[in-house]
Amino acid sequence: MNANLKMLVAGQRKAMAGLTEGLEAVRAQIRGLKERRAKVEVQPPEIEIALQRVDAWIKPMRGALEIFRAPDFAAADGFRFPSVAGFEGPLALAVVADLASDAMKAKIRTAYETKPGISDQDRKAELLRLDQTLMEAELVEEELIRNATRAGINLLRRADADPRAVLAADAVFASLAN
């Protein structure tokens, strides 16, 4: 094989390697963005919200003691012990409600030492930012695939490729270049 043909083949190999490396780099970025987005979605709320949820959980437990009224125990005559049949569980919880609240709040504070919470506003903003960056990466990937197809090289799309990018008009990609 003459030197010109060898250079042509070597150049083609280099171009193909660049194409596949570039495509894989974009796909790695997409995977990373999706992982980051999933973490933001499940990141706990701010600690104050978690502590308020404990209070809301405990509040009905305390109410079980309301079935007993102090005047019932101070009756001059005809006193009967109040019936607790069917209320044993709620009454037990009412008695230990403050202990349960304190214990749960201590666990929450410990958990938040290693995994901080995020406000709803910050979560929405971060998800929006990640979604925009993810769409840009999806469009870049699709543009690489379309450019390769125009050159006669067939590249497979990811099964989870965003249909908005796959079905985007060519004008969208022209605006990306600018």
Confidence grade of residue 95 (pLDDT, cut at 50, 70, 90)? confident
Inter-residue contact 145 to 153 (CB < 8 Å): no
Closest CA to 34 of 170, 166, 158: 158
Q: Tell me, yes or no, whether 53 and 100 share the same domain.
A: yes
Q: Tell me, yes or no, whether 124 and 94 share the same domain.
A: no
- With respect to residue 16, please indicate whether it lies within any of the assigned structural domains: no
User: Total structural domains in the chain?
Assistant: 2
Confidence grade of residue 178 (pLDDT, cut at 50, 70, 90)? low
Which one has a higher pLDDT value, 124 or 88?
124
**pLDDT score of 128:** 98
10 has a pLDDT exceeding 80: no
Q: Tell me, yes or no, whether 33 and 76 share the same domain.
A: no
CA atoms within 13 A on the CB side of 48: 3
Residue type at position 19:
L
Q: Tell me, yes or no, whether 73 and 123 share the same domain.
A: no
**pLDDT score of 35:** 98
pLDDT tens for residues 109-165?
999 999 889 999 999 999 999 999 999 999 999 999 999 999 899 999 999 999 999
d(CA 158, CA 30): 11
Average pLDDT over residues 72-90: 76
Confidence grade of residue 1 (pLDDT, cut at 50, 70, 90)? low
78 has a pLDDT exceeding 90: no
Domain range for 52: 45-117
Q: Tell me, yes or no, whether 130 and 147 share the same domain.
A: yes
**pLDDT score of 85:** 76
177 has a pLDDT exceeding 90: no
End-to-end Cα, the chain, rounded Å? 42
Domain boundary among 79, 95, 117: 117
- With respect to residue 174, please indicate whether it lies within any of the assigned structural domains: yes
Q: Tell me, yes or no, whether 36 and 123 share the same domain.
A: yes
Tokens for 40? 């933001």
d(CA 88, CA 98): 17
Q: Tell me, yes or no, whether 113 and 49 share the same domain.
A: yes
Q: Tell me, yes or no, whether 113 and 142 share the same domain.
A: no
61 has a pLDDT exceeding 90: no
Tokens for 80? 């009967």
Q: Tell me, yes or no, whether 175 and 87 share the same domain.
A: no
d(CA 40, CA 136): 19
Residue with tokens 């109410």: 63
**pLDDT score of 84:** 72
Separation of CA 18 from chain center: 34
Tokens for 52? 């308020």
Q: Tell me, yes or no, whether 101 and 155 share the same domain.
A: no
